[in-house]
Structure 1
């Protein structure tokens, strides 16, 4: 799908299990739809691959019908088999500052604090929802590595140079990011204590 195609439309009862507006603000089944920026999803997915960080999209209680999912750095990936960083020889080959994610996380957390309603203290024990960015993508494509880009360049008719290698890899990363944008899903399912709950997703530019 194209980001933003579903706009702000809510799921219908036939499409998704109905949100329960009578549930407590600490229950995720109150949620009908999530809004998330397309860039946050793409950057989070890229950071998990390139820097092996557990970047997630976090939804913070109290919950209501419409919620925002925001970037959150949950720490280093513990899986030793996680893919290697794709930025080793060429340095920062993409034009995206993944190091700024921590700053954006802090800014968004401050915004969350300002937006929380007075009844939040009554639900302080409610658990935020942490959603891996892969959940928002239908079949996340493999992230291009600098080694793959080098192999493709060396078998081509173009003479290998470091600058050409860098340019080709930047193009490969941009193509990957565009593919991710084209494969964003319209809904995701959240596991709750009582049942699975499916919510619509709208993407902000």
Structure 2
């Protein structure tokens, strides 16, 4: 019996590719590395062969459950959203430039010049991240890991 005829919403096992915007990946990765927030790329049901994953910050005080998952507060059997860690989308994540490192590279610069140089270093890091978005990502589907294509936009 097909999933459409089973009375169950199609799950993430239908996904063949995920489209992500390069800027969303850089933003999510920077937020993940620079704060205690959990920022992901999220694809929401109903799932299809090609899905768009968008920037999403998980509730830092909650359990990470966006609802819709079996056993969730709404009691639905519908599949929940798919969360993709931005670190899984960027092979060989470059080290984030720390302000102290930038300052040590230019010890004679005044405070404003150091700030400008650090901003330039961060923008260069973001550009490297945008360029490195991978062509595949592994997703968890029904306790199995599947590899799907990544389509990088922008």
TM-score range, shorter chain: 0.7 to 0.9
Q: How far apart, CA to CA, are the structure 1 residues paired with 2:57 and 2:18?
A: 19
| Distance in 2, Cα, partners of 1:196 & 1:49 | 24
Matches within 5 A, 1:38-187: 38-76=22-60, 125-154=78-107, 159-187=108-136
Change (3 A) 1:147 1:76: farther
1:52 Cα offset (Å)? 2.5
Aligned partner of residue 76 in structure 1, secondary structure = coil
**Deviation (angstroms), 1:48:** 1.4
User: Could you tell me how far apart the structure 2 residues matched to 1:124 and 1:68 are?
Assistant: 22
Asked if 1:28 corresponds to 2:9, the answer is no
1:131 & 1:51 partners in 2: Cα distance? 17
Taking only aligned residues, the RMSD between alpha carbons, in angstroms, comes to: 1.9
Distance 1:39 1:54 in 2: 17
**Aligned counterpart for 1:198 among listed residues 144, 147, 153:** 147
When the two structures are superposed, what TM-score results if normalisation uses the length of structure 1? 0.61
Distance 1:190 1:142, change over 3 A: same
Q: What's the CA shift string for 1:30-77, capped at 9, x where partnerless?
A: 011111111100011111122321110011111111111011110339
Higher strand share: 2
Cα distance between partner residues in 1 of 2:131 and 2:19: 17
Distance, in Å, in 1 between the alignment partners of 2:120 and 2:59 is 29
- Greater relative contact order: 1 or 2 (C-alpha under 8 angstroms, separation 6 or more)? 1
Aligned residue for 1:203, secondary structure, equals strand
Q: Which runs of 5+ in 1 are unaligned?
A: 1-21, 78-122
Q: Secondary structure at the match of 1:143?
A: coil
